[in-house]
Amino acid sequence: MIFAVAATTQTRKWVEAFRSRAPDLRVDALEDVPNPGDVAWIATWETAPGRFAPLTNLRAVFAMGAGVEKFLGRDDLRDDVALIRLNDAGMAVQMADYALYAALTVLRNFDHYDRDKAGFTWRPLRPRSPSSLRVTVLGLGTLGGFVAARLAERGYTVSGWSRSEKQIPNVRAVHGADSLDRLLAETELLISILPSTPETRNLLDARRLALLPRGAYVVNAGRGDQLDLDALLNLLDNGHLRGAQLDVFPTEPLPATHPAWENPALRITPHAAAFTLIDEAVEQMLDKLARFERGEKVEGLVDRTRCY
């Protein structure tokens, strides 16, 4: 039985990392496997249509990331194949830095200085204190929970939103669809770290974005389909929103002709908020593989009905 690897880049590096940690496991790049029927497990982020069809004896897919929407609802992946995602694997700290970058932008007016520079304007602005900024983190899972806790440790006034009830020190955690509108109405910095599911798709639509108070700042590091980009651009253009920092887009890469590129109030990052770190990920996948094969509970086993 083979543990196959098919990354989008650096497949060899992944293979070496697996082999050095698990010398007794047969690990090969998928492209080097002569008989796909020998593959029992695969670590991958490669999801071209039909990719999994030849792997007729597949037992588990280890996603090389946290968001698994592209592994769901596929004709080529049987429902009895376990789908196991990464938990953190070095991403949480990066995600917290990404959120903090936006929070500091707002507090310290770095966005205003970027724009002032274009007009040769020297205009020092008084900073705000972290506690004066009302931040809301959407999604309090592995990444969002860490981000919310980090921001709270730094003194921000943090609320968080999830499906189920949560307790995070110094974070006001609320849950359930009914609570979202009220929360948005009092949010000055909104940070979405939600997965893509049928329920989160277009969650931040024109109506909900308009509930944010005038001058609010929006961050999306979850998935592009949860935010109406046109509505966001309108609210930036008409001055209702102060700015936004987006890492994820409805179409990636964001097409070069898209008006978002030219919006001065929008900071764009190319789906780079948090990278999977290979060593951490391989360590975690091997631990999950061992638990899976022993029939034990595996953290990150995707619930296909919830879609995350």
Residue 154 appears among annotated catalytic residues: no
Residue 258 appears among annotated catalytic residues: no
- Dihedral angle of Cα 93, 95, 99, 104, to the nearest 10 degrees: 40
CB 200 within 8 A of CB 222: yes
Distance of alpha carbon 26 from alpha carbon 120, whole angstroms: 61
**Subset of residues 248 to 307 that bind ligand GLV, contact rule: CB under 6 A:** 276
Minimum CB separation of residue 239 from ligand GLV in Å reads 31
Using CB distances below 5 to 8 A depending on partner kind, what does residue 197 bind out of ligand GLV, ligand NAP, none? ligand NAP
> Which pair of structure tokens corresponds to residue 72?
């769901």
Minimum CB separation of residue 144 from ligand GLV in Å reads 12
Of positions 5, 27, 66, 190, contacts ligand GLV by CB under 6 A: 66
Report how far apart, in Å, the C-alpha atoms of 125 and of each of 48, 142, 218 are: 49, 36, 21
Minimum CB separation of residue 283 from ligand GLV in Å reads 16
Q: What's the burial of 272, exposed, middle or buried (CB within 10 Å: 0-12/13-18/19+)?
A: exposed
Distance of alpha carbon 218 from alpha carbon 113, whole angstroms: 18
Cβ proximity to ligand NAP, 33 vs 137, nearer residue: 137
CA 105 to chain centre: 20
Give the binding range for ligand NAP (CB under 6 A) out of 23-31, 127-135, 142-150, 183-191. Answer: 142-150
Q: Which residue is nearest to ligand NAP (CB)?
A: 141
Residues forming contacts to ligand NAP in the complex (CB under 6 A) are 65-67, 91, 139-144, 161-164, 193-197, 199-200, 221-223, 247-248, 271, 273-274, 308
Residues forming contacts to ligand GLV in the complex (CB under 6 A) are 65-67, 276
